[in-house]
Amino acid sequence: MSDDVIVADGLRKEFTVRVRTGRLRREKRRVTAVDGVDLRVARGEMLGYIGPNGAGKSTTLKMFTGVLTPSAGEVRVCGLRPVAQRTRLALRVGVVFGQRSQLWWDLPLGDSFALLRHVYRVPAAAHAARLRRCRGLLDLDAFLGTPVRQLSLGQRMRGELTAALLHGPEVLFLDEPTIGLDVVSKQAVRGFLGELGRAGDTTLVLTTHDLADIERLCGRLVVVDHGRVVHDGSIAALHERYGSRRLLVADLDAPLPEPPVLPGAPLHRQEADGHRLVFALESAGVAEVVAALAGLGALRDVSIVEPDVEDVVARLYRSGSGRDGDSRRDHGD
């Protein structure tokens, strides 16, 4: 047995949608939300699952947690079949769906936590220890006595995270955990998840629109589009594969008579009438380029611009999907 916590083979989900085609006529159409996803996630891994709206991220997560029954394919989470063994699996995974609450709306937040101890049959001591840790890391004390419906979104999300962790899950699924949060709450949530990931025994799978989440947290990035995995690997591998490069920006005292040709670092663009040259670092190192430029004289300042994941992914979506791409990429759900 391998130590993979999540194993998916050829996972598919189709929906039948009825479309109005005339005054009274309706036509059934099959829509494939998830189209053959193969995935293996090792214990302790932090996996970012991204894709445009409608790419099938949430649907996949719901098949991992036993909410939705797959149309085809195999899936095992913690060695269990999610739908058939739903309640057993629920004891071992935690779920935060950004737009669905696990908390009791009318009860104080603290009461929800107490209830969840019974729901998940957690020994009192373990529950208290985990709650103490979350209270410290997520600053819950100020609003533990407030009914959940009166919490701000940021406070509620911190409550949701705690609620999902009180039974010590092996895998934590997060669907858009930072959506709609202000900067401070976002940082609190990311900091907390980072901490959790570094501790190493919880596997984290998170879907998000916010690539900053991924850059801070996830060593591995899975990009899905139209229900298929279009990239699976590290962020660096994504840059490599899609040709996103670090840029070297050179400011000059005076424009050069003609643009320099540097091996391994083609000129990306010129700005400010040739006072600023931007090179793409392909095979050349920073030192070589700087040395070459210095040799040409008049070098005033140099800076390096790291590639932007957002940029790469946007390009990835565009290249992968010409059809109805824009309507899928707008905001909302």
Partner 1 sequence: MADASGGVLAAYRALLGAQARAQTAYRTSFVIDVLGNVGSTVFDVLTVLVIFGVTRELGGFTLRETMVVVGLSTCAFAVADLLVGNIERLPRYVRTGLFDAVLVRPLGALPQLLLMDLPLRKVSRAVFGLAVLVVAVGAAGVEWTPARAVLVVLAPLAGVVFFGSVFVATATVSFWWVDSGELANSVTYGGRDFTSYPITVFEGWFRAVFAYGLGFAFVSYHPALALLGRADPLGLPAWVGWTAPGVALVAAVGAAAAWRTGVRHYRSTGS
58 scored as a contact of partner 1 (CB under 8 A)? yes
Q: Binding-site residue total for partner 1 (CB under 8 A)? A: 34
**Radius of gyration of the CA atoms of the chain, in A:** 24
Among positions 72-91, residues that touch partner 1 (CB under 8 A) are 83, 86-88, 90-91
Using the minimum distance from each CB to partner 1, give the nearer residue, 73 or 191. Answer: 73
111 scored as a contact of partner 1 (CB under 8 A)? yes
Could you give the 3-state DSSP secondary structure of residue 93?
Answer: strand
> Which residue is it, tokens 């229900």?
227
> Least distance (Å) from partner 1 to the CB of residue 302?
44
Site string for partner 1, 174-193 (x = CB under 8 A): -xx-----------------
Q: Closest Cα partner for 130 from 164, 80, 96?
A: 164
69 scored as a contact of partner 1 (CB under 8 A)? yes
> Least distance (Å) from partner 1 to the CB of residue 19?
16
100 scored as a contact of partner 1 (CB under 8 A)? yes
CA–CA distance, 62 with 67 (Å, rounded to integer): 5
327 scored as a contact of partner 1 (CB under 8 A)? no
99 scored as a contact of partner 1 (CB under 8 A)? yes
28 scored as a contact of partner 1 (CB under 8 A)? no
Cβ(148)–Cβ(103) below 8 Å: yes
> Least distance (Å) from partner 1 to the CB of residue 303?
39
97 scored as a contact of partner 1 (CB under 8 A)? yes
121 scored as a contact of partner 1 (CB under 8 A)? yes
Q: Is 176 exposed, middle or buried (0-12, 13-18, 19+ CB in 10 A)?
A: buried
> Least distance (Å) from partner 1 to the CB of residue 301?
46
208 scored as a contact of partner 1 (CB under 8 A)? no
20 scored as a contact of partner 1 (CB under 8 A)? no
* Out of 32, 44, 104, 290, the residue judged to bind partner 1 by CB under 8 A: 104
Using the rule CB under 8 A, give the single segment among 72-80, 117-125, 185-193, 216-224 that binds partner 1. 117-125
Instruction: Give the DSSP per-residue string, 174-214.
Output: EESTTTT--HHHHHHHHHHHHHHHHH-SSEEEEEES-HHHH
Beta carbons within 8 Å of 178's beta carbon, 6+ residues apart:
98, 157, 185, 186, 189, 190, 208, 210, 213
149 scored as a contact of partner 1 (CB under 8 A)? no
Q: Closest Cα partner for 196 from 180, 217, 214?
A: 217
Using the minimum distance from each CB to partner 1, give the nearer residue, 20 or 121. Answer: 121
CA–CA distance, 262 with 243 (Å, rounded to integer): 18
> Least distance (Å) from partner 1 to the CB of residue 177?
13
Using the minimum distance from each CB to partner 1, give the nearer residue, 58 or 185. Answer: 58
Beta carbons within 8 Å of 106's beta carbon, 6+ residues apart:
147, 148, 149
Q: What size, in residues, is the chain?
A: 333
Order of all β-strands in the sheet with 26-42: 26-42, 4-20, 72-77
144 scored as a contact of partner 1 (CB under 8 A)? no
Q: Closest Cα partner for 208 from 35, 40, 53?
A: 53
Beta carbons within 8 Å of 212's beta carbon, 6+ residues apart:
186, 190
107 scored as a contact of partner 1 (CB under 8 A)? yes
* Out of 43, 120, 194, 274, the residue judged to bind partner 1 by CB under 8 A: 120
Beta carbons within 8 Å of 256's beta carbon, 6+ residues apart:
274, 277, 296, 298
Q: Which positions lie near partner 1, rule CB under 8 A?
A: 15, 58-59, 62, 65-69, 83, 86-88, 90-91, 93, 95, 97, 99-102, 104, 106-107, 111, 115, 118-121, 175-176, 333
